A and B are shown apart, each in its own frame.
Chain A
Amino acid sequence: MYDVAVIGAGIIGTFIARELSRYDLNIVLIEKDTDIGNGTTKANSAIVHAGYDAEPGTLKAKLNFLGNPMFDRVCEELDVPFERIGSLAVATNEEEMKNIQRLYERGLKNGTPDIKILSREEVREKEEGISEEVIGALYAPTAGIVSPFELAVALAENAGDNGVEIKLESKVTNIQRVENGYCISMGEEILEAKYVINCAGVYAGEINEMVATKSFEIYPRRGQYNILDKSAGNIVSHVIFQAPTKLGKGVLVTPTVHGNLLVGPDAEDIDDRENTATTIERIEYIRRVSKKITSKIHFGTTITSFSGLRARPSTGDFIIEESKEAKGFINVGGIESPGLSAAPAIADYTIDILKEIGGGLKKKEGFIASRKPVLRFMELNDGEKAELIKKDGRYGRVICRCENITEGEIVDIINRNAGARTVDAVKRRARPGMGRCQGGFCGPRVMEILARELEKDIKEIVKDSSDSYILTGETKQNKLA
């Protein structure tokens, strides 16, 4: 029997699993998909919010406040790109300036550090390319950008290094109370755990209802984005939001930690928890609305469009509590924005609940706080590059031509705890296929490496989900050969 089963390996599940692995516990992390962080975690704004946005007094406000300053350390320990570039919420008229003022006051109540209202000129000092229409902004220096799926992968890997068992492609189909805990079915497979932590994202309601009556609902709210080529990455140097208006929050424009430009999202309530399609109308909408921030964006350099689902809770706030009906079953649901920013604090908060239920937890000896650094070949200087290839020739073979990713880097991210199993998983970790050609050149080579390292037939290599096959069989000539 496991001590703790964490359901869902998104940013919340992986953070909790990693922080729990500091204790003397037998932990399993259960994920329905083929990869870590494959839901909301991989498709959001990738922002660590300063914390002025949430309603004072809510868990959102409190955990955003606590979570934001925790990013520097965890990202350094786990070698995940994070940059505190600061944010600007810009206004284009007096009414919007009033809203900026409101945000400022809310920020003061929430304890958001060093926020400041900037004049027209001060905004331009910070952002040369900002639209002529902008008349002022709220500046929050502690806002940052991070790579959420790389963080989730790193957390899972580190959790794995510290003894957490990770089960991918394991969809929870049923949970039953048993003596001293719960019996979790994942199709044919069954396991038991004393405590269950439900981090199932947009499916948190369904998982909860396996052990209790409905006490909350999670509504998926879709947001669509454009990601642009690195040539567009320096159009802005801060996270730039639009002042909220009656019509909504507007869209944001931000550089990413990898130097691309991200534009989006819109907000659209939908029924289907799997519907991450993009639509022409919505993409046109975010492109149009982004012009309020800057007109310098050339959408011809778009690399791709994508969408993600926010897990919007019926309660309006994060739901982090032990189920009233099921002892030892903790729900961590409704983690919409600022969920990523609050994630480190959500993990601590959840563990405190567990400590209370279980009567304290014992720290274990030998917790490893860091993971093996991820070598990024192109970030090395010439001498280091030469040395590395001498040591391992696979770093001398470039697989991805757009971003110069070497075979050595790809092999490395496959052969780690929580390593890549699919083409998209490789892409998310090491970036081949993220560039302009979108995997056109490197796709076949990545598949070949995956097949070799995982000892599979190349036809078994999938894009993302287990049914997302890429090849349909041999050609006539190959069959004869």
Chain B
Amino acid sequence: MLYYDILIIGGGPAGLAAAIEAKKNGVDKILVIERDRELGGILQQCIHNGFGLHIFKEELTGPEYAERFIKELQEFKIEYKLDTMVLDIREDRVVSAINTVDGFMSIKAGAIILAMGCRERTRGAINIAGTRPAGVFTAGTAQRFINMEGYMVGKKVVVLGSGDIGLIMARRMTLEGAEVLAVAELMPFSGGLTRNIVQCLEDFDIPLLLSHTVTEIRGKDRVEGVVIAKVDENRKPIPGTEKYFECDTLLLSVGLIPENEISKSGGIILDPVTSGPIVNEGMETNIEGIFACGNVVHVHDLVDFVTEESRRAGKNAARYIKKEVKNYGSMAKTKAGTGISYIVPQMIRGENIDRTLDLFMRVDDVYTDINMVITIDGKEIKRMKKRHLAPGEMEAIKIKKEDLIASESSVITVSLEKEGA
């Protein structure tokens, strides 16, 4: 059996940042396992720019952002295995994995960091009626075909869902000579970043149809068209509003789901809202010594936040290995109050925080001119005015260590309050 102090599953932005941070914090025997043919994860197919504004204060493309971490990983001589798949994890932190070179491996790890990322929701999951021809792709799969493999997937395109990948792909397909007829969005607001709506749709005159959905796919062999209808406030199609769009391709950008099949095999408890592991301030899951970070925990909008969160996981996994974790004092819980759909981390050991802790969260609707209020056991500790909040943009707020350790086993609630309420 092989042994590593820290085993990291996934060599995307989360796994890379966690590995480097663990190394910087004094752990030497680290292995990164990546199932794809190269490191970098989905960043490698994100050839557009806009990455790194927070971390590097400059705009990088996905591959450029990944390259900085890959280089650092290699300079640190951190071991990694490509084209390698983890089959399962046991609670005693023994992992089985396979590849074509090493064959079947059993690996015992001092600590494990889960960094498997997420996958896209599919047509089946959202139950679009109609035929089942070729030409229906998730936006990410289309992106891979175009940016990695060098093949186009269609000529006349409708995009369902205005998540960031859908917006990016509407522009990418246009640049490759395809005609993008429309982006339909079920919700009355886009799930993507404002800058992407401007740069990917408005700049190319691609209409964004809010409160619309695809109700039917037509075509026997290849997509021949889709029917788009307006939806009411319950997101149900309104009869009589159907419109037929002749196209050969439907791209779906209808949500991302943290990929936790391996986590489940290791007995890790998931949060029903995020579909990711429940974690504490150190990004540790319910199983001691198993950490998680990045999109496997909750879907981020910016890779910069993934990097920050993953550094935290890497650092804490290193502290765990070096037995520096402060496992005493109060244990606080976070609670998503009015207007907030979830908060990560879910559990906080105040003693274990350096000075401040970032809470990551998403709101459940679009809000303007609203207060974000943080209370600990009902006592308000912070209040921030927010001009605009949207579910598509993740919010991060800092809380101070003093506020946390001042109280016993407390509940930290974040909620939204109307101005003047």
The answer to whether A and B interact is yes
Seen from chain A, the residues whose Cβ lies within 8 Å of a Cβ on chain B are 227, 274, 276-280, 283, 299-300, 302-306, 378, 382, 385-386, 389-390, 393-398, 401-402, 404, 406, 436-441, 443-444, 458-459, 462-478, 481
B100 touches A397 (CB 8 A): yes
Complex-state Cα separation, A436 to B106, whole angstroms = 26
Most buried by B among A463, A467, A468, A475: A475
Please determine whether A303 and B124 come into contact, CB atoms closer than 8 angstroms: yes
Q: Is the CB of A465 within 8 A of B220?
A: yes
Whether B215 pairs with A280 at a CB distance below 8 angstroms is yes
Residue from the list A394, A401, A458, A481 in contact with B151, Cβ < 8 A: A458
Indicate whether B127 reaches chain A with its CB closer than 8 angstroms. Answer: yes
Do A440 and B141 touch across chains, with their CB atoms under 8 A apart?
A: yes
The reply to whether B129 and A279 form a contact with Cβ atoms under 8 Å apart is: yes
Cα of A393 to Cα of B84 in the assembled complex, Å: 12
A472 contacts B248, C-beta separation under 8 Å: yes
- Give which listed residue, A305, A395, A404, A468, contacts B134 with CB less than 8 A: A468
**Chain A residues, CB < 8 A from B261:** 402
Q: Looking at the complex, which one of A437, A467, A472 makes contact with B153 (CB distance below 8 Å)? A: A472
Residues 115-139 of chain B, each 1 if its beta carbon lies under 8 Å from chain A, else 0 = 0000110111101011111110010
Determine if B333 is an interface residue (Cβ-Cβ < 8 Å). no
A294 to B152, CA, bound (A): 45
Partner of B124, one of A302, A390, A463: A302
29 chain-A/chain-B pairs, Cβ below 8 angstroms: A227-B124, A276-B132, A280-B127, A280-B237, A303-B122, A306-B132, A382-B96, A382-B104, A385-B98, A385-B104, A393-B100, A394-B100, A401-B35, A436-B119, A436-B122, A437-B122, A440-B120, A444-B145, A458-B151, A459-B151, A462-B134, A467-B221, A467-B222, A470-B134, A471-B152, A472-B248, A475-B176, A476-B177, A478-B151
Task: Tell me whether A473 and B127 are in contact in the complex, defined as CB-CB below 8 angstroms, given that A274-B220, A389-B98 are known contacts.
Answer: no
With a CB–CB cut-off of 8 A, which chain A residues contact B129? 277-280, 283, 305
Q: Of A438, A462, A467, which is within 8 A of B122 by CB?
A: A438
Known contacts A389-B103, A396-B98; decide if A469 and B138 are in contact (CB<8 Å). Answer: no
| A470 and B150 contacting across the interface, CB-CB below 8 Å | no
CB–CB B123/A277 < 8 A: no
The complex places the Cα of A475 from the Cα of B341 at a distance, in Å, of 40
- Whole-angstrom CA separation of A404 from B96 in the bound complex: 13
If A302-B125, A304-B123 touch, whether A469 touches B104 (CB-CB below 8 Å) is: no
Report yes or no: B119 in contact with A437, Cβ–Cβ below 8 A. yes
Say whether B220 contacts A389, CB under 8 Å. Answer: no
B154 touches A472 (CB 8 A): yes
CA distance A402 to B124 in the complex (A): 15
Q: Does B87 contact A (CB under 8 A)?
A: yes
Query: Is B146 among interface residues, defined by CB-CB distance under 8 A?
Result: yes
Contact A475 B127 (CB under 8 A): no
Answer whether A468 and B221 are a contact pair too, CB < 8 Å, given A277-B129, A305-B129, A306-B132.
yes
A477 touching B119, Cβ below 8 Å: no
Further 18 A-B residue pairs, CB within 8 A, beyond A393-B100, A401-B259, A440-B122: A227-B124, A278-B130, A280-B237, A302-B127, A385-B98, A397-B85, A404-B87, A437-B120, A440-B140, A444-B145, A444-B148, A459-B151, A467-B222, A468-B222, A469-B222, A471-B152, A472-B152, A475-B150
Q: Is B58 an interface residue (CB 8 A)?
A: no
B103 touches A475 (CB 8 A): no
Q: Which residues of A contact B134 (CB under 8 A)?
A: 462-464, 468-470
Q: Does B49 contact A (CB under 8 A)?
A: no
The main secondary structure of chain B at its interface with chain A is mixed
Contact A471 B133 (CB under 8 A): no
Q: Which residues on the A side are within 8 Å of B74 (C-beta)?
A: none
Q: Which 3 A-B pairs have the closest CB atoms?
A: A478-B150, A304-B124, A386-B104
CA of A470 to CA of B98, assembled, Å: 30
**Smallest Cβ distance from B103 to chain A, in angstroms?**
4
A243 to B365, CA, bound (A): 45
Task: Give CA–CA (A469, B221) in the complex, Å.
Answer: 8
**Do A303 and B99 have beta carbons less than 8 Å apart?**
no
Interface centre among B106, B237, B261 (most CB of A within 10 A): B261
CB A439 to nearest CB in B, in angstroms, measures 8
B residues bordering A, Cβ < 8 Å? 35, 83, 85, 87, 96, 98-104, 106, 119-120, 122-125, 127, 129-135, 138, 140-141, 144-146, 148-155, 176-177, 215-216, 218, 220-222, 237, 248, 257, 259, 261
Known: A386-B103, A443-B141. Contact between A398 and B98, CB under 8 A? yes
> CB-nearest residue of chain B relative to A272?
B220
* Chain A residues, CB < 8 A from B102: 396
Asked if residues A471 and B151 are in contact (CB atoms below 8 Å), the reply is yes
B153 touches A398 (CB 8 A): no
Cα–Cα distance between A326 and B259 once the two chains are bound (Å): 59
Expressed in whole angstroms, the Cα–Cα distance for A233 and B104 within the complex equals 29
Instruction: Given A401-B85, A437-B122, A459-B151, decide whether A476 and B127 contact each other with a Cβ distance below 8 A.
Output: no
Q: Which residues of A contact B151 (CB under 8 A)?
A: 458-459, 471-475, 478
A423 to chain B, nearest CB (A): 8
- Please give, as numbers and ranges, the residues of chain B lying within 8 Å of A279 by CB-CB distance: 129-130, 216
* B119 touching A440, Cβ below 8 Å: yes
> Is there contact, CB below 8 Å, between A468 and B133?
yes
When C-beta atoms are compared, the residue in chain A nearest to B144 turns out to be A444
Min CB–CB distance B130 → chain A (angstroms): 5
CB-defined contacts of A385 to chain B, threshold 8 Å = 98, 104
Residue of B nearest to A477 (CB): B150
Which residues on the B side are within 8 Å of A303 (C-beta)?
122, 124-125
Distance in angstroms between the alpha carbons of A472 and B142 in the assembled complex: 12
Asked if residues A389 and B100 are in contact (CB atoms below 8 Å), the reply is yes
Q: What's the nearest-Cβ distance from chain A to residue B151, in Å?
A: 4
CB-CB under 8 A from A283, the residues of chain B are: 127, 129
- Taken together as a complex, chains A and B put the C-alpha atoms of A218 and B222 apart, in Å, by 27
Please report the C-alpha to C-alpha distance between residue A305 and residue B129 in the assembled complex, in whole angstroms: 8
Q: Which residue of A lies closest to B219 (CB)?
A: A468
The CA-CA distance from A347 to B154 in the complex, in Å, is 44
Instruction: Say whether B124 contacts A305, CB under 8 Å.
Output: yes
Docked pose: A298 CA to B124 CA in angstroms: 14
B259 neighbours in A (Cβ, 8 Å): 401
Report Cα–Cα, A205/B250, bound state, in Å.
36
- Could you tell me the distance between the alpha carbons of A125 and B96 in the complex, rounded to whole angstroms? 38
Query: In whole Å, how far is B13's beta carbon from the nearest beta carbon of chain A?
Result: 17
A302 to B129, CA, bound (A): 13
Q: Does A397 contact B99, Cβ atoms closer than 8 Å?
A: yes
By beta carbon, the residue of chain A nearest B126 is A302
What chain A residues lie within 8 Å of B150 (beta carbons)? 474-475, 477-478, 481
A471 touches B145 (CB 8 A): yes
Complexed CA–CA distance, A279 and B129 (Å):
5
A385 to B134 Cα, complex, angstroms: 35
CA distance A475 to B152 in the complex (A): 5
Residues of A within 8 A of B248 (CB): 472
- Which residues in B have their C-beta under 8 angstroms from that of A468? 133-134, 221-222
- In the complex the two chains form, is A396's CB within 8 Å of B103's CB? yes
B391 shortest CB reach to chain A, Å: 18
How far apart sit A364 and B376, CA to CA, in the bound complex (Å)? 84
Give chain B nearest CB distance to A118 CB in angstroms.
34
- Counting chain A CB atoms within 10 Å of each CB, the highest count among B87, B123, B152 belongs to B152
Please give, as numbers and ranges, the residues of chain A lying within 8 Å of B104 by CB-CB distance. 382, 385-386, 389, 396
A438 with B98: CB separation less than 8 A = no
